[in-house]
Structure 1
Amino acid sequence: MGHLSRFMDHHYRHFNAAAMMDAAKAYRAHIAAGRQLLVSLAGAMSTAELGLSLAEMIRQDKVHAISCTGANLEEDLYNLVAHDHYERVPNYRNLSDAEEQALLDRHLNRVTDTCIPEEEAIRRIEDAIVALWQRAGEAGEARFPHEYFFELIRSGVLEEHYQIDPKDSWLAAAAEKNLPMVVPGWEDSTTGNIFAARVITG
């Protein structure tokens, strides 16, 4: 048992802390028995940089499939290519309408206390992924949303823009492992809306 496990085992004894320990021990036993785990991601977990822990779990074969929203799918890639341009807004609960408008005018898309920069994140990947969609369309190929993201990462076309170590990207780890993924709610994402807009405009 490592230092953190010993600390938790000693201190996390009651209430939600104890329930978390029960879950952690059950998970460890589940994996030790050769069983598999599907992780479901909702909320802004990629923007919260869940990749810092999830990526290594994927690489160590402790996660075997992921179900996530379209937003979580794209936001891990946004973080990979635009991390240094993100802005944190600690007082987000108290923003005035004028302050919200000022963020919008700067093309900063606020997710709770974190702003995703439109130009450096969304627009940076747009041309690359649209090119993949167009090639697939011309070839009569149909793919799942995550397969395009995997191809973007594997192609290396965005590597010059990486602003974090890709070892901290859960999407990069999933692409390495060709992890099975389910992405319900693709329309939940900015990229999904870009796709729909491109279909409408031709």
Structure 2
Amino acid sequence: MSKGNISQFIEKYYKHFNAAALVDAAKDYEKQLQQGSKMLVSLAGAMSTAELGKIFAEMIRQGKVDIISCTGANLEEDVMNLVAHSHYKRVPNYRDLTPQEEWDLLEKGLNRVTDTCIPEEEAFRRIQKHIFEIWKEAEEKDERYLPHEYLYKLLLSGKLEEYYEIDLKDSWMYAAAEKNLPMVVPGWEDSTLGNIFASYCIKGELKTSTMKSGIEYMTFLANWYTDNSKNGIGFFQIGGGIAGDFPICVVPMLYQDLERTDTPFWSYFCQISDSTTSYGSYSGAVPNEKITWGKLDITTPKHIIESDATIVAPLIFAYLLDM
């Protein structure tokens, strides 16, 4: 299939430095798919609030993503955007806000992420009752699920349909739910839904055991990696932090702790990050450091694009979608 205008523009003008790194990373991602490799995409930062779903959902639908690792915030914020988009507030002059102006936003129920304020009260007024019912129903049936599985159930139940404020095709979580896409959500407890679930447990309305844990995410990932690594599994990392660190560690865990010495390394690695390389910084570590930790091989294609993921990720996805 011939490439579209965006892809042609990138190939023509993106020749050096981070621009060239973007093209190289996109082409190697494409090679991974062509050779039958699977691809993990990790989402850190506020990518859902940045509306990455507008293009990431299509990546999922077209089978260019095989498993996702994301923060609890990205998990829920895509659903929040789906049901409360009209209540979001953009603040272009966010650098100029005084502490009093920040407080005023808090009193209006607007939590600021850079230039965008998330209307948590409005969003969770539409989500909380329904997700609690799903949690409670599972508990009464003595069933346990992972955090993302509960949200899949909520999205596919139709309970939120009356609240939709964006085109459903722009929700990456709905696209993932439709495909029952494998996912890991490390550190889910620090998200708003995680806090809400904990509050129900403290009040005695839910049991902590109703929610499967991070260890269960890791054991699932270990089995998934083992079952799907015949042709390689690539790692495409947006941002840093736990969304990337958690899943990438499955390889040394399998190789070193389980002594499965035939475990292949990740077959591709790319990170989009503007984090500064510094002492002890995982997010800013150069890819070669991961060789010493048993995550990447000497021959693994390695890319790092030091730029804003809200600019870079859509361009790479556009290239992969032949746009």
Q: TM-score when scaled to structure 1?
A: 0.98
2:69 is paired with a residue of what secondary structure?
A: strand
Q: 4+ residue stretches of structure 1 with deviation over 3 A?
A: none
Higher mean alpha-carbon deviation, 1-10 vs 79-88, is at 1-10
Of structures 1 and 2, the larger Rg is shown by 2
Higher mean alpha-carbon deviation, 92-101 vs 161-170, is at 92-101
Other-structure match for 1:57: 59
Show the 5 A alignment for 1:41-190.
41-190=43-192
Task: Report the alpha carbon displacement of residue 136 of structure 1 after superposing the two structures with TM.
Answer: 1.0
Task: Report the alpha carbon displacement of residue 94 of structure 1 after superposing the two structures with TM.
Answer: 1.8
The residue type equivalent to 1:175 in the other structure is A
2:138 is paired with a residue of what secondary structure?
A: helix
Aligned residues: 202
The residue type equivalent to 2:188 in the other structure is W
CA distance in 1, matches of 2:78, 2:138: 23
1:66 is paired with a residue of what secondary structure?
A: strand
CA distance in 2, matches of 1:110, 1:5: 33
Other-structure match for 2:42: 40
**Structure 2 unaligned regions, length at least 5:** 205-323
- 1:125-169 Cα offsets, whole Å, 9 max, x none, are 000001111111111111000001000110000001000011000
CA distance in 1, matches of 2:167, 2:15: 36
CA distance in 1, matches of 2:114, 2:199: 26
CA distance in 1, matches of 2:163, 2:129: 14
1:37 is paired with a residue of what secondary structure?
A: strand
Structure with the higher fraction of residues in helix conformation: 1
Other-structure match for 1:20: 22
CA distance in 1, matches of 2:126, 2:6: 38
The residue type equivalent to 1:168 in the other structure is D
Q: TM-score when scaled to structure 2?
A: 0.62
The residue type equivalent to 2:177 in the other structure is A
1:143 is paired with a residue of what secondary structure?
A: coil
CA distance in 1, matches of 2:120, 2:6: 38
Task: Report the alpha carbon displacement of residue 92 of structure 1 after superposing the two structures with TM.
Answer: 1.3
The residue type equivalent to 2:133 in the other structure is A
Other-structure match for 1:2: 4
CA distance in 2, matches of 1:55, 1:116: 21
**Aligned-residue RMSD, C-alpha:** 0.8
Higher mean alpha-carbon deviation, 189-198 vs 88-97, is at 88-97
CA distance in 1, matches of 2:173, 2:99: 35
Q: Sequence identity, in percent? A: 65
**Structure 1 unaligned regions, length at least 5:** none
The residue type equivalent to 2:141 in the other structure is A
The residue type equivalent to 1:88 in the other structure is R
